[in-house]
Chain A
Amino acid sequence: EIVLTQSPGTLSLSPGERATLSCRASQSVSSNYLAWYQQKPGQAPRLLIYAASSRATGIPDRFSGSGSGTDFTLSISRLEPEDFAIYYCQQHGNSPFTFGPGSKVDFK
């Protein structure tokens, strides 16, 4: 089973700033199939990025994903107020398709 570790646990930023979140896998992720989700309180998660760098339908281009092998990054170029949320990574290369523990982006 691939174990995903996310950092930082919490990132405190202001609107307009850049956010950089990390997801590290315990072993190489097959085909770099790494996804990112956003979750706001009381809501189901929303798919942002899949296969490391492909944006899901309707996701603004301020969200970008990069990385390969065991190290992946989600970047938000300029934080909008609605971007303050929890972000999870998930590997979708090999079962079990595990999630990371999440990183919270909150207001500084």
Chain B
Amino acid sequence: QVQLVQSGAEVTNPGASVKVSCKASGFTFTSYGFSWVRQAPGQGLEWLGWISAHTGIIYYADNFQDRVTMTTDTSTSTAYMELRSLRFDDTAVYYCARDYISGQSSSWYLCVHWGQGTLVTVSS
């Protein structure tokens, strides 16, 4: 079955960087794209970006263009999201999600299967 297992919670200082991993299993990693979405405490969902594990094409949200880097490692079927220059308001649960429903061309870029989330706390 499809599984996305994310790295553990992080506590970090303002100005530092954090890198969250998302290890995939149960499907062919390079056939899909992966979104990163975050949710601050008590707030809604915020889309950070999407990366294709097949082509390497990346789309970033405008607000994060200069602070985020998304990558994939096809040898380990793992997607990564690094966020730099962290601020207090970057405290959130960060989710990875896989797209595409088999046979449905309209399902690219969706968040079909989700990881369990990684809590990143920015604190001094």
Contact = CB atoms under 8 A, between A and B. Distances in A.
Interface in A76-108: 88, 90, 92, 95-102
A47 interface: yes
Main secondary structure of the interface of A (DSSP, over half): loop
Contact of B106 (A46, A50, A101): A50
A88 B47 contact: no
Interface of A: 1, 31, 33, 35, 37, 39, 44-47, 50-51, 54, 56-57, 88, 90, 92, 95-102
23 contacts: A33-B109, A35-B110, A39-B45, A44-B95, A44-B116, A45-B45, A50-B104, A50-B106, A50-B107, A50-B110, A51-B104, A54-B106, A56-B112, A88-B44, A92-B109, A95-B59, A96-B47, A96-B60, A96-B62, A99-B45, A99-B46, A99-B47, A101-B44
B16 interface: no
Contact of A98 (B47, B60, B101, B110): B47
B91 interface: no
Interface in B27-82: 35, 37, 44-47, 50, 59-62
Nearest to B99: A92
Contacts of A46: 114
B57 to A, nearest CB: 10
A45 B110 contact: no
B104 A54 contact: yes
Contact of B109 (A37, A97, A102): A97
A31 B106 contact: yes
A90 to B, nearest CB: 7
Contact of A51 (B44, B47, B106): B106
Contacts of B101: 50, 56-57
Contacts of B95: 44-45
A97 B50 CA distance: 9
Contacts of A88: 44-45
Contact of B44 (A50, A56, A99): A99
Nearest to B112: A47
Contacts of A90: 45, 47, 110-111
Given A45-B114, A51-B104, 6 more contacts: A37-B111, A50-B101, A88-B45, A95-B50, A99-B37, A102-B44
